[in-house]
Amino acid sequence: MCAGGLAVGFPRSWRWAGRRANAGACPPPCWPAAGYRIGPVIAGTGPAVAAECLVRLLFQRLYPLAFVCAVLLAVSARAAPQAIEIAILDNAAMGPVALAVLREAYGRLGVDIRTRTLPLRRGIQMADQGEVDGDLMHSLPALKEWPHLTVVKVPVVRAVFVAYKQGTACPDVVPARELAATRIAYMRGTVAVEEALPKEALLATTNNLDAFKHLQHGIVQYAVVGRLEGDSLLASHPMGNICKVATPVVTSDLFHSLNSRHAELAARVERVLQEMSDSGEIKRIWSREIQRLRSQAGPKQR
């Protein structure tokens, strides 16, 4: 295989070329020791490495193999998606953080990201049905429900859910027993919250802003919202005396997913994200984007 994971057979008379190439024309090796099959280049590392392989083949005057590799590289480039459309959630402050991580990862693969704003559950449903290419971020428990999604198993963001209540000063922690005995507003479909708190205590709302409105009007005693989302909403929608409990209710890693027709692309972007995670790049992006969002919220943020 050369470009795009395509397998190509060569006459036995070309085996000498394969042996020479296997000795160092293309790292990682482009074919096994049998010497007449070009190995997975793009499938493993992307078009940039395939192009480097092609240059080395030409330099070593392995023209027959270079010609076939060039043809397959061109075919793969045409076949590979140049842009994908993913579902994102409106009014989700963590969305830009996750999106910044993915734009960097996909950018390294030469793929642009387009977004479509949709309700939380509708977005993941459309991704599962293939109406959009993928979903920006969900927890692993939430993703298990959708059989046609391929999960990219490197977290793109970490959501910290905290409790908000009416008042000018909140305690540092609210015992789980106390929370369970009250009424709590949260955004419908937030599986991490649904798993952390008793079902009978929860009141589902359309979005996080509605959860705060329920709290403001005294319909519930607490609203459990992602900390960054909650702080941003309270900064942009003043609601009187609402304070934040410092200790998180639950923390959840969120993962990107693609429709299963893009399984190969999912594997490639997962490798890139793992490299970014190992190098600390993802945490640097998180820090930069969260600082940017907090600076935009300004002194109103609680």
Q: Say whether 158-251 and 83-155+254-300 share the same fold.
A: yes
Question: Which tokens sit at 292?
Answer: 């940017």
Distance CA 121, CA 131 (A): 14
pLDDT mean across residues, the chain: 81
E strand or H helix at 222: strand 222-226
Superfamily of domain 158-251 in the CATH hierarchy: Periplasmic binding protein-like II (3.40.190.10)
**Percent of the chain, pLDDT > 90?**
57
The model's pLDDT over 115-160, given as tens digits with 9 standing for 90+, comes to 999 988 899 999 999 999 999 999 999 999 999 999 999 999 999 9
Domain ranges of the chain: 3-79, 83-155+254-300, 158-251
Question: Which tokens sit at 103?
Answer: 């734009």
Residue position matching structure tokens 């490197």: 154
With 50 as the cut, is the pLDDT of residue 14 above it?
no
Superfamily of domain 83-155+254-300 in the CATH hierarchy: Periplasmic binding protein-like II (3.40.190.10)
Sorting pLDDT into bands at 50, 70 and 90, what band is 65? Answer: low
The model's pLDDT over 239-272, given as tens digits with 9 standing for 90+, comes to 888 999 999 999 999 999 999 999 999 999 999 9
Backbone angles phi, psi at 236, to 5 degrees: -95, -15
With 50 as the cut, is the pLDDT of residue 5 above it?
no
Indicate the pairing of strand 134-138 with strand 83-88: parallel
The model's pLDDT over 169-207, given as tens digits with 9 standing for 90+, comes to 899 999 989 999 999 999 998 999 999 999 999 999 999
Number of Cβ within 10 Å of residue 224's Cβ equals 29
pLDDT, greater one: 37 or 169: 169
